């Protein structure tokens, strides 16, 4: 089998498994997609890790794209970038946030990647003239990748989610491979969790178990009997229903876990714990069930149900992006939530349409903070610049992310440094002042992402800056996904005009963070801090933004004659 070494280099080794100590949990979905299979998978990881077990987590996407880098975020949601620069499915973002563990390059497997490896090997002649087939060559490649990810993480338990819905043509090689895993690794070392939906139908709004029965039958047709069923439902399942499902699906009634709708996904780890999900898994795998350490999640749950403060954070993006697909900015939205949780607050996001430049100042009037997130393409750029100007001039706390930094630099160049017509060459190649440009060396940086700077890069944080105050560290690692940079030719001019470059690449060539001195909170990063924020460990830039937003709210209300206690009262009444 092949083995992944630290640093992502893949080496070949002989099969069968050296990972017999690893137990495998496969999570499949039935009935319909989007019923929270990814979150259930992530929660299981959280609960096992909370018991001191080492886990690995992996997502299988049965589509033909080799990775998510080329996929349209409108159709598929955000592209999540891992530490080593893999462009992956947004579910991996959920995994990292819930499990609080960085994922490696083998954490996302697509049909495209699997076939590409097999076909490349066939072209090299590695199969010695044999006929290359789905079984065993594709299925072996899939199993090798599953084991390699477990091995790389030295996992006690490897959790693998199969994307799509059982019965899909394209997931068949994967379901066949995971069926075989039970023979390879042994009955006690492999188990299957199936997530289904219990719909409400008919004039009497009855809960129906039939789709679940069909879905389990479909699974059993391909040789897999689920050990645990998670039934997504709006209402609690009666014992009678559990017994019925148990009988038809050949599953013990206490292995049927109710996946009740939660108000917030971060309530789910503790909810699943109370349902005994992890304990059932451990029992089936014959592993000890130590008491879990869930104090961080209990605190999250408590804050979610009774936040001390509330605030409104403006997110200024292209209208179509958030209207058609809220998942486009999912990591940013989640990070705002984390920053709020760290401040015992609840944040409401106000989506601001960057294409309505004229209406922006008014839209921002009732907001406590502004975020301009990353993006590609010219649409909405002038509106983003306008929003940033408003934040800069009015002391509105501002956080710019990637394109958010670039637009902040353009705004400063034009309106403060007097560089008329300053722009990014991404949007105007003819600009007289290309303050944002693609650097020559950038073009050769990384084959994988073409010309993109992808994954974690070190950044030196300048002393006595807001950035240093936020991070409390002088060298940080943050994840990138962009082509353009602040043009080094303009660093000095911009600094002379008052812009502080508070984070740079260690060789000082690239500006990684900028900020302003005479402003309560104005900071932007060329990287994407949202990829590293976690609910139980919020990213400092988001914690800082929310704290600044809350402070502004308090200051404003005091100016308007309300005392602090009245404001809390006000918050409660809004709640």
Catalytic residues: 402, 528, 530
**Closer CB to ligand GLN, 46 or 525, in the complex:** 525
Is 484 one of the binding residues for ligand GLN (CB under 6 A)? yes
In whole angstroms, give the CA distance from residue 131 to residue 109. 24
Is 481 one of the binding residues for ligand GLN (CB under 6 A)? yes
**Residue span 417-436 as binding mask against ligand GLN, x where in contact by CB under 6 A, dash where not:** ---------x----------
Is 482 one of the binding residues for ligand GLN (CB under 6 A)? yes
| Beta strand residue intervals within 108-182, DSSP E | 108-110, 157-162
Least Cβ distance, residue 435 to ligand GLN (angstroms): 13
Residue 425, CA atoms < 13 Å, CB-side half-sphere: 15
Q: Which of 375, 455, 503, 544 binds ligand GLN (CB under 6 A)?
A: 375
Instruction: Give residue number: closest CB to ligand GLN.
Output: 374
3-class secondary structure, 532: coil
Write out the DSSP string of 319-346: HHHHHH-GGGGHHHHHHHHHHHHHTTEE
**Closer CB to ligand GLN, 130 or 444, in the complex:** 444
Least Cβ distance, residue 106 to ligand GLN (angstroms): 24
Q: Point out which span in 133-141, 218-226, 476-484, 515-523 binds ligand GLN (CB under 6 A).
A: 476-484
3-class secondary structure, 209: coil
Q: Which of 30, 374, 400, 449 binds ligand GLN (CB under 6 A)?
A: 374
Burial of residue 54, with CB atoms counted within 10 A of its CB: 0-12 exposed, 13-18 middle, 19 or more buried: middle
In whole angstroms, give the CA distance from residue 371 to residue 314. 6
In whole angstroms, give the CA distance from residue 489 to residue 436. 10
Give backbone dihedrals phi and psi of 211, rounded to 5 degrees, phi first: -60, -35
**Closer CB to ligand GLN, 198 or 314, in the complex:** 314
In whole angstroms, give the CA distance from residue 523 to residue 398. 6
Q: Which of 208, 246, 376, 551 binds ligand GLN (CB under 6 A)?
A: 376
Q: Which of 114, 402, 419, 541 binds ligand GLN (CB under 6 A)?
A: 402
> Do the Cβ atoms of 116 and 141 come closer than 8 Å?
no
**Closer CB to ligand GLN, 192 or 484, in the complex:** 484
**Closer CB to ligand GLN, 504 or 553, in the complex:** 504
**Closer CB to ligand GLN, 280 or 481, in the complex:** 481
Least Cβ distance, residue 438 to ligand GLN (angstroms): 8
> Do the Cβ atoms of 111 and 62 come closer than 8 Å?
yes
Q: Which two tokens stand for residue 221?
A: 């047709």
Binding site for ligand GLN (CB under 6 A): 374-376, 402-403, 426, 481-484
């Amino acid at each position: 089998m092949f083995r992944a070494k630290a640093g992502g280099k893949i080496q070949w080794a002989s099969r069968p498994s050296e990972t017999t100590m690893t137990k495998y949990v496969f999570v499949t979905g039935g009935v319909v997609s989007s019923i929270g299979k990814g979150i259930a998978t992530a929660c299981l990881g959280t609960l096992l890790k909370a018991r001191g077990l080492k886990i690995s987590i992996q997502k299988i996407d049965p589509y033909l794209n080799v990775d998510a880098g080329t996929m349209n975020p409108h159709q598929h949601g955000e592209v999540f970038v891992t530490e080593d620069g893999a462009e992956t499915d947004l579910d991996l973002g959920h995994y990292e946030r819930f499990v609080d563990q960085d994922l490696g390059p083998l954490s996302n497997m697509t049909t495209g990647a699997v076939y590409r490896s097999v076909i490349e090997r066939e072209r090299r002649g590695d199969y010695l003239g044999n006929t290359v087939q789905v079984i065993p060559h594709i299925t072996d490649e899939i199993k090798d990748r599953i084991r390699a990810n477990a091995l790389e993480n030295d996992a006690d338990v490897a959790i693998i989610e199969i994307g799509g819905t059982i019965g899909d043509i394209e997931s068949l090689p994967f379901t066949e491979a995971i069926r075989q895993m039970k023979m390879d690794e042994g009955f006690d070392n492999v188990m299957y969790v199936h997530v289904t939906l219990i719909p409400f139908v008919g004039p009497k709004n009855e809960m129906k178990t039939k789709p679940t029965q069909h879905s389990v039958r479909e699974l059993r047709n391909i040789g897999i009997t689920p050990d645990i069923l998670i039934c997504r439902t709006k209402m609690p399942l009666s014992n009678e229903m559990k017994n019925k499902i148990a009988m038809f699906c050949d599953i013990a009634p206490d292995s049927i876990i109710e996946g009740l709708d939660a108000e917030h996904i971060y309530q789910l780890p503790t909810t699943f714990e109370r349902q005994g999900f992890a304990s059932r898994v451990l029992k089936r795998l014959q592993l000890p069930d130590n008491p879990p350490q869930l104090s961080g999640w209990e605190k999250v749950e408590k804050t979610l149900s009774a936040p001390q403060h509330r605030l409104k954070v403006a997110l200024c993006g292209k209208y179509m992006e958030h209207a058609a697909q809220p998942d486009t900015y999912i990591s940013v939205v989640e990070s705002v939530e984390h920053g709020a949780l760290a401040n015992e607050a609840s944040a409401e996001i106000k989506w601001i349409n960057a294409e309505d430049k004229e209406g922006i100042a008014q839209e921002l009037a009732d907001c406590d903070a502004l975020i301009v997130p990353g993006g590609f393409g010219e649409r909405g750029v002038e509106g983003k610049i306008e929003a940033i100007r408003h934040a800069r001039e009015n002391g509105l706390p501002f956080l710019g992310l990637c394109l958010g930094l670039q637009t902040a630099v353009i705004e400063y160049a034009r309106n403060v440094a007097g560089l008329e017509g300053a722009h990014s060459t991404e949007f105007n190649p003819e600009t007289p002042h290309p303050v944002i440009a693609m650097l020559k060396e950038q073009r050769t940086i990384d084959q994988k992402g073409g010309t993109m700077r992808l994954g974690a890069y070190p950044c030196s944080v300048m002393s006595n800056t807001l950035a240093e105050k936020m991070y409390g560290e002088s060298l940080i690692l943050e994840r990138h996904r962009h082509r353009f940079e602040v043009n080094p030719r303009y660093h000095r001019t911009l600094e002379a005009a008052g812009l502080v470059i508070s984070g740079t690449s260690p060789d000082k060539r690239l500006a990684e963070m900028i900020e302003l001195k005479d402003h309560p909170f104005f900071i932007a990063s060329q990287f994407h801090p949202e990829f590293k924020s976690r609910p139980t460990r919020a990213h400092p830039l988001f914690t800082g933004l929310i704290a600044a937003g809350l402070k502004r709210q308090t200051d404003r209300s005091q100016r308007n004659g309300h005392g602090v206690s009245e404001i809390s009262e006000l918050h409660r009444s809004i709640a």
